[in-house]
Structure 1
Amino acid sequence: MAMKTAAAVYRGLSHQVRGVPCQDEAKALHTGDWAVAAVCDGAGSCPRSEVAARALCGWAVRWLPQRFDELYALEDRELARRVLEAGLERLDATGLDRQEAYCTLLCAVRHRDGRLLVLHIGDGYVFSAGEALSLPENGRYANETYFFSGPCAEEHLRVLRRRETGPTTLLLTSDGCGDALYDAAAGRPAAAVKRLCEGFARCTEEEAAEALEHNLREVFSRVSEDDLSLALLRCD
């Protein structure tokens, strides 16, 4: 089975103007057995949340595939508990208090045998070419969301699993460009999601990474001043 992945991030214009680091992180990688992609968005209210986003995203793309079989066999709540326990240990290692390490997490792992596991807490989107697999979850107000190290995280870490029988392309995005990729009125991904997924099927990983960077810089930055991140995985 052929697998490929690509990811890109772009520091939003509002952060560039204020001299604030990019608080988004995106990573994607694969081996012969699985492909994984992850996106983390650090909370703007936490001055060093970019440290947490980098740490959690890097941890997710390595730890989750290593524990895939074990996790996939668990009930959803126990799976969420195990993931939170291990991920919080990684965040604690950054030296940040948990209230300073607020960030979202979106992660998808696709095994070569067809098993797919998606984990999501907070805002952002997980798309296939024709379906929104996971949507943002906001708090009491539209500009609030839930974070991996926040209170009640176990209640809000969502788990999706299913078995794919054919080629799979998934697109993960933070809220920065996610809102432009979801047609809320129709309740489905915007046409650009299909174009990105189909384009990824035809190009190399290097070409895809360059295309993602170009789109973030030249297209999505025109509709959002927030940090921007995209990650793709494909299994044929």
Structure 2
Amino acid sequence: MDIQSSKCFIQGRIHKLNNLPCQDRVAVYRYNNIIAMSLADGAGSCKYSDIGAEIVTSEINKLLTKKFDIFFKSDGDNIRQQIIETLHDKLKVEAQKRQIQLKELSSTLLFVAIKANNFLSGHIGDGLIGVQIKKADMEKEDIIVLSYPERGEYANETYFTTGVDVMKHLRLYRGNIDDKSGFVMMSDGAMDCLFNKKENRFALAIERFFEWMENHSEEVINKALEENFSKLIIEKTTDDCSIGLLKIRKEGKKNELRRTELSTEQLKNLPFEELNDLPAYQLKYHLKCKNKRALHNKLKVLKAIRIYGKEYKKHLKLKHKTIENHKKSLKESGWITF
């Protein structure tokens, strides 16, 4: 299965005017044939909410790729408990380090993870998650809402990851992707511009984004998204704006992108045999090797790790220093996790 990802988050006009950071974050992570994408919108009233958003998007992605199979079969309360405990543990460490209250790291959270034919999604607070569907009786694909924003008791109030009753407000969704060809998530700032609340439908721009993802690389789409958001979307709202998209490409549509325009993140998810067939100049760039010899040795280390895991050293005939240097480089650049 070929899944393309694209994301963008930009500073709103009010934050730019007041020299404040963008509080939205979007992150994507691929591991073990699983892709996870998450989006968080930091609470505007909390000084360090951008840090909180950074933490929860990173941690939820790692947790989903690690425990996807367990979560997919577990009951909802068990999933919620593990997710909230993991996020709170990380946030509490940051709060203690900065000597601030936990609520200063507050944010919303939206996520989608896909493995094989199954997906798992969750949502805390406002923002919106949509799904692109195509059924046999439909002339073309349609984009419908998977998860609506949840508001609090008062206007402009929502729920956050740090709330004492957050367990009650983590909404979960799971199922197969038989009739699904894409997912989109967005913060409330982007939602104001890309979703018509009265007509309950997404703007045509979302359909166009998915079309782009069918035929272009991640870098190209991300750049196009950033340009569109910076020049058009941001002018329609004062809030920070963020969006994340996952496109499940049509069967067999790997075309020349597989050889010429794949991003480093996409290459990390390729089978080793397919990775090894790529041109040396391309591999040297993505694996950060200065010459062919370094590339040759790094590929040996990567292959051994993928096959043998932590026992990889027993199966390599390289100097200890060479192995350690390449292993360190692979870990730092995200090709391996241990």
**Is the shorter-chain TM-score for this pair beyond 0.5, marking a shared fold?**
yes
Structure with the larger RCO, 1 or 2 (CA within 8 Å, 6+ apart):
1
Partner of 1:158: 171
Asked if the contact 1:123/1:146 (under 8 Å) is kept, the reply is yes
Partner of 1:47: 47
Q: TM-score, normalised by structure 1?
A: 0.94
- Cα deviations across residues 11-54 of structure 1 (Å, max 9, x unaligned)? 11100111111111111233461222110011011011111111
- Return the index of the structure with the highest Cα Rg: 2
Aligned residue pairs: how many?
235
| Cα separation, 1, equivalents of 2:241 and 2:14 | 11
Asked if the contact 1:171/1:197 (under 8 Å) is kept, the reply is no
Q: 2:125 aligns with which of 122, 125, 131?
A: 122
Q: 1:204 aligns with which of 207, 217, 234?
A: 217
SS of alignment partner, residue 142 of structure 1: coil
CA displacement at 1:167 relative to structure 2: 5.5
In the superposition, relative to structure 1, how do residues 143 and 219 fare at CA in structure 2: closer, same or farther (>3 Å)?
same
In the alignment, does 2:199 pair up with 1:195? no
Structure 2 unpaired stretches of 5+: 133-142, 250-338
SS of alignment partner, residue 67 of structure 1: helix
In the alignment, does 2:105 pair up with 1:101? yes
| Cα separation, 2, equivalents of 1:33 and 1:12 | 35
The AA in structure 1 aligned to 2:10 is Y
In the alignment, does 2:82 pair up with 1:82? yes
Identity of aligned residues (%): 29
In the superposition, relative to structure 1, how do residues 235 and 31 fare at CA in structure 2: closer, same or farther (>3 Å)?
farther
| RMSD (Å), alpha carbons | 1.4
| Cα separation, 1, equivalents of 2:183 and 2:30 | 14
CA displacement at 1:188 relative to structure 2: 2.4
* More helix per residue: 2
> In terms of mean alpha carbon deviation, does 154-163 or 31-40 score higher?
31-40
| Cα separation, 1, equivalents of 2:248 and 2:111 | 15
SS of alignment partner, residue 131 of structure 1: strand
The AA in structure 2 aligned to 1:24 is D
In the superposition, relative to structure 1, how do residues 64 and 97 fare at CA in structure 2: closer, same or farther (>3 Å)?
farther
Q: TM-score, normalised by structure 2?
A: 0.67
Asked if the contact 1:6/1:29 (under 8 Å) is kept, the reply is no
Q: 1:232 aligns with which of 245, 253, 259?
A: 245
Q: 1:110 aligns with which of 94, 102, 114?
A: 114
SS of alignment partner, residue 151 of structure 1: coil
| Cα separation, 1, equivalents of 2:244 and 2:24 | 12
CA displacement at 1:231 relative to structure 2: 1.0
SS of alignment partner, residue 20 of structure 1: coil
| Cα separation, 1, equivalents of 2:247 and 2:60 | 18
| Cα separation, 1, equivalents of 2:232 and 2:30 | 28
| Cα separation, 2, equivalents of 1:144 and 1:167 | 32
The AA in structure 2 aligned to 1:28 is V
* More strand per residue: 1
| Cα separation, 2, equivalents of 1:119 and 1:8 | 20
- Cα deviations across residues 92-115 of structure 1 (Å, max 9, x unaligned)? 121242221110000000112x11
Structure 1 unpaired stretches of 5+: none
> In terms of mean alpha carbon deviation, does 43-52 or 180-189 score higher?
180-189
Asked if the contact 2:192/2:237 (under 8 Å) is kept, the reply is no
The AA in structure 2 aligned to 1:172 is M
| Cα separation, 1, equivalents of 2:231 and 2:120 | 32
The AA in structure 2 aligned to 1:174 is S
In the superposition, relative to structure 1, how do residues 154 and 216 fare at CA in structure 2: closer, same or farther (>3 Å)?
same
Correspondence list, 1:21-60, <5 A: 21-31=21-31, 33-60=33-60
SS of alignment partner, residue 94 of structure 2: coil
